Amino acid sequence: MNKNAIQKYAVWARNELIEQVKQRAYQYGINDKGYGDENATVISGRVLSAEEKRQRHEFVVQIKKHDFEQAVEEVAYTWFNRFVALRFMEVNDYLPTHVRVFSDANGGFNPEILKDFLHLDLPGLDKAKVSALLNANRTEELYRYLLLTQCNALNEALPEMFERLGSYTEMLLPINILKPDSVLGRLVTDIPEEDFRDAVQIIGWMYQYYISDKHDEVIDPLRGKSIKKEDIPAATQLFTTDWVVRYMVDNSLGKYWIERHPESKLREKLDFFFVPKSGEISYVSEAVSPQELTFLDPCMGSGHILVYAFDVLMEIYKECGYGERDAASEIVKNNIFGLDIDERCSQLAYFAVMMKARSYDRRFLTKGIKPNVLSIRESNSIATFTRAKYMPDAGQNKVGEYLVDVFRHAKEIGSLKTVKRANYESFQKYLAECAENAFIDIDFSLWHTEEMPLMEHLTEQAIIMSGEYTVVCTNPPYLGKLESHLEDFVISEYKPYSGDLFSVFMYRNFSFCKSNGYSAFMTPNVWMSIKSYQALREYIMREKCIIGLVQMAHGAFNEIACVDVCSFIIKNKQENNNGIYIKLSDFKGNMDIQGEKCLFAIKNDCDYKYSANNDDLMLVPGSPITAFCASSQMLHLYKKALLLKQVAEPKQGIATSDNDKFLRLWFEVDNNKLFFSCSTHEEANDSSARWFPYNKGGNFRKWYGNNDYVVDWENDGHRLKNFKGSVLRNPNFYFRECISWSLISSYTIAFRYKPVGHLFDVAGMSCFQSSNVNLKYLLALNNCCLIGKIMMMLAPTINYQVGNIANIPVIYDEHRAREIVDIVDDNIALAKEDWDAYETSWDFHADPLCRLRASHNNLSKAYSFLRDRTNELFCKLHRNEEYLNDVFLEIYDVVGEMPDTVSRRDVSHTFIYDAREEITEDIKESYYVRTKADLVKNFISYAVGCMFGRYSLDIEGLTYAGGEWSASKYKTFIPDKDNVLPICDDEYFDDDIVGRFVDFMRLTYSTETLEENLKFIADALGGKGTPREVIRNYFLNDFYATHCKIYQKRPIYWLFDSGKKNGFKALIYMHRYSRDLLAKLRTDYVHEQQERYRTQLSHIAAAINTAAGTERARLLKKQNKLTEQLKEITVFEEKVHHLADQNIEIDLDDGVKKNYEIFTDVLAKI
């Protein structure tokens, strides 16, 4: 099936049909602005026929009931459904006339019906009218008439899909439908005919893609609003992948039959049917006939699940001796039941079931059998059922009143409604008797025409909704934010299970199901582990039995919806049997790949197929279903271990409600306002500091690091405490020593040590010591492979909440605690040294390559020494981590349960390669891999810091980042005096950045080795030209991008940039900014550069007059470049002038983002 073609066509067809219907409505004086006279007889000078007046009035009534857009949408999808249905029927030769409506026998868009109409045996066809239209050469009008007549003729066989002629939808049928690029033309030509042949599931795919734009619109996460009642179908209809349908039905309906019929050969025909790990099926001594099997999909969508269930039921009937024709009728009458709130989906489900029956019985459409699939309707339009004068039976009237009451807002609530059992068949007869009195007076006549049909429908849906079924199988709606009526209902009736609409349906479906029957689902997988679904999990564990579950890989379902899913079967009865679990999370790819892997696991033993029972899973706090992948020995750890919350205190922290206002990266603000080692609230309050360290999660990093953010806590957090919306949890734990982790991680959890001085965030949660169990012992435990494995059970969504951490099992080994803590101290020291080697650490001393200048006057040798030592320390940390793994596997007595090795990508320490091509696969994904080029760029960055005075070669650490400037701190290398470092494509200025860098190299690594060191740097950077040219090009083109990346898009050096022609570039240091800086920049640098360009252009113009050949071409090229640069810098100068005249001051407390925006017209884009 060409899903790309189907998707492209369906999305286009929806927009095209909506536009075409709007055009037709406009021709009748109706648009989104209004409709004029509701009973108009003349539109734009054209007198309407009686039929047109009636149809127009009907459409206006629909607009008044909903709105113009929704009314148009309904007409568009009605015609879309009909067109798709007709196309399916003609391709499969299911049309009673056996004459194609859209195509010819060769499959081209050339309707056969236009050629064979004179011999067409079509009920209601006026051949005289046909001849008249033909003779008048009105082909388009003739085709419209034939199409409408064909739809009308199908009403008898398929009344739910094709209503009789005369409704307003006929009036709004699009025009020009015979054009090749029309909706009909492209339906025939864009989608391969074979996709329609014997494949009724195409109906579901067509609808899924048809509503995809609407679906994306109504679930737009940026809206953050609940879904409106009329948008619920578009938001929640998701087509169920074919193999998932087979998995669910094979192991529910198929299993139920096989268990009761040991002689059945059905299992051989069910590809996705699985047996228990023992290989033995537990048979049930219960005689069941095929007619007694009842199968309900309460959220049936377009009927995909029902259609496959039909095929399985057919096999059951056939092995009981039924022929296909008889079986088809029996299945439709007795076995298949479906409900949905979406009228259009219900039409398609009805059609799909009818076509499936027709595929087994060519006369089925003439038998008048109506399938038990219904669109749920509501009683909101009925004030009261009883008309006492004409309805004498008080008992039956109570039934009627009950139905009116129970189905209020049912279009929104759907099959979540619980309908009590009653003799609704008797009530149906009562309605028919009442109808005999329908024309006694006008009031009762209106009841008969308007309310009675609805009451008949409500009775039919009550019969289905009050029933019990052998199997309940569905893909329920996924929806978290609900509109008022639905939300109130869910909270009232299903509060413990109300995390999402799908979880409510899970619980509701158990009451649809017989006590020994099966419920099968496809749902998001979040219910398997997260806390908000714990009540549902525990209910299932206590009362039901999970037979099997498949957990799909992350992103596998993204073709349909951006949600991770699972599929499972639950027996509606408690049994202590092991379920079969298949974990596909390691197999990245779409649902087709997931299906292949699932099928392999069903047929074979493999390492991603597991067996687990409810009792074992309930040993884990919170009863996460995701614990199925753990061995029984692992699960039983919880019987002998304490929980982490019993020996320590994991806590959530601050939610500022406005991080841009209260948080900064530490290097943004004035260093004099930072306090890194505060230990108490009192000390913080007594200090003059405003900014304090703040744990905010961050990248995967173990042991130490991610010290990036600071929080505004001046005056004991006065601003934050008084800010609306902020939440300050657990303030008694602020500033205390702790271990911290990130709320969200890309693949596994990592814990870090935090000394005293930090506050903490909801995304950088922290754990504090509260017993004799040393915090560093817990740090070692939590970073070991055992806890990594356990966290995959507790938090497979890679969202690590406090509750997950609180439930880590802790076994404290006093005898080995000292050894463990000593290794942890070593690991912390290794990680800290690594973290502090980068200038984004607040404990940074100097660039490592610069610090090595005393022992190595050659930069290449210094680099080799640094590389080797760094990699040795990496290996030491790696060994320590693997040793701790061994220790804890022994302590927990689970040696052999999992590998004790640590992947090199999971060692959060720098590892250096000479070149990127040398990086091996096992470490490629690590955040901490560096190359020679990276280290050289860091060295250059440090050199620029020295040029600005941020660092000094005479003092280790940060020298200036705000406050009073002290020239005495700089003796070896003097910073730039005016805080402007021009970056030119030639040597124009004395303090040009390349010249300053060469001076820096001379002073740090000597004059004797200058040239070879410059060459080393140039070779590492890569590029053509001399070393100085390569370095100049780096500053000109790449330095600033590197700086912005290092400083997380909060650059502390700002690049004044005239544009792409490089007319003018200069760096300034934000912390040395003064209100007169732009004036100096303009007069001392911009003006001077402009004058140089003019002088050069004058010289070139003179030289061109005497030059020839290659030299002339070179000069012309140079002239053109300088001319463009002069134009660019002239525009730039005007912008700088405008800003300079304002004498702007900046406040470092405002951070980079806000201050940078002030000068955005003259600064490089970040």
CA angle 1143, 1145, 1147 (to 5 degrees): 175
Number of Cβ atoms within 10 Å of the Cβ of 810: 21
Fold of 237-294+470-629: Rossmann fold (3.40.50)
Residues of the chain with pLDDT under 50: 221-223, 234-235
Domain boundaries, given as residue ranges, for the chain: 3-233, 237-294+470-629, 394-408+418-464, 642-811, 930-1158
Cα(92)–Cα(84) distance, rounded to whole angstroms? 12
Q: Which residues, including other chains, have CB under 8 Å from residue 163's CB and lie 6 or more apart?
A: 155, 169
Q: Are strands 295-297 and 469-474 parallel, antiparallel or unpaired?
A: parallel
Cα(599)–Cα(609) distance, rounded to whole angstroms? 11
Position 795 scores a pLDDT of 80
What's the mean pLDDT when you consider all of the chain? Answer: 92
Position 442 scores a pLDDT of 66
Cα(780)–Cα(797) distance, rounded to whole angstroms? 23
Cα(590)–Cα(510) distance, rounded to whole angstroms? 30
DSSP tag of 335? I
- Alpha carbon separation from 332 to 293, 472, 541 (Å, rounded): 12, 16, 35
Q: Are strands 929-931 and 911-913 parallel, antiparallel or unpaired?
A: parallel
Tokens of 743: 């709320």
Cα(1035)–Cα(1021) distance, rounded to whole angstroms? 11
Strand partners, 610: 581
Closest CA to 407 of 369, 452, 454, 439: 454
Helices (H), 109-224: 127-135, 139-153, 168-171, 183-190, 202-210, 212-218
Q: Is 323 left (phi over 0), alpha (psi -120 to 50) or beta?
A: beta
Q: How long is the chain? A: 1166
Cα(846)–Cα(58) distance, rounded to whole angstroms? 81
CB 1052 within 8 A of CB 667: yes
Distance of CA 513 to the CA centre of its chain: 32
DSSP tag of 183? H
Strand partners, 68: none
- In our burial notation (b when 16+ CB lie closer than 10 A, e otherwise), range 518-531 reads bbbbbbbbbbbbbe
Cα(173)–Cα(86) distance, rounded to whole angstroms? 15
**Which amino acid would we find at residue 463?**
I
Tokens of 630: 């753990």
Cα(1129)–Cα(984) distance, rounded to whole angstroms? 12
Strand partners, 520: 473, 569
CATH-assigned architecture of domain 642-811: Alpha-Beta Complex (3.90)
Position 916 scores a pLDDT of 95
**Which amino acid would we find at residue 778?**
L
CB 1055 within 8 A of CB 1048: no
Closest CA to 476 of 604, 305, 612: 305
C-alpha radius of gyration, the chain, whole number: 38
Strand partners, 339: 374
**pTM higher than 0.85, yes or no?**
no
Distance of CA 143 to the CA centre of its chain: 45
**Residue reference for tokens 């009261």:** 384
Cα(905)–Cα(353) distance, rounded to whole angstroms? 53
Q: Which residues, including other chains, have CB under 8 Å from residue 254's CB and lie 6 or more apart?
A: 266, 267, 270, 273, 312
Helices and strands, number each (H, E), in the chain: 46, 28
